[in-house]
Amino acid sequence: MYTVDRIEEDIVILEDRKTLKIIEIEINKLPKDIQEGSILDFIDNEFVLNTKKTKETKKRINDLFESLKK
């Protein structure tokens, strides 16, 4: 499982969520609807957007941020 760390023109920087290893990949090899923070799975030699995990992670981060504002 990978997190989209950032997008730099036509290169996407991904972080492996287990090893924390950083990889660079061309944006045209990834799903079109990715954005920073998207969670990707690597299935059958291709990256697939994991919308459920992306939503869960964004909610957890937003909830944490809101708790810090109190």
Residue 14 burial (10 A CB sphere; 0-12, 13-18, 19+): buried
Nearest Cα residue to 12 out of 2, 28, 24, 29: 24
CA–CA distance, 45 with 4 (Å, rounded to integer) = 17
CB atoms within 10 A of CB 1: 12
Q: Could you list the residue range(s) of the whole structural domain that residue 50 is in?
A: 2-69
pLDDT band at 68 (very low <50, low <70, confident <90, very high): confident
List the beta bridge partners of residue 47: 42
Mean pLDDT within 2-25? 95
What are 15-59's pLDDT values in tens digits? 999 999 999 999 999 999 999 999 999 999 999 999 999 999 999
Residue 6 bridge partners (DSSP):
13
- Mean pLDDT calculated for residue range 3-26: 95
- How many separate domains does the chain show? 1
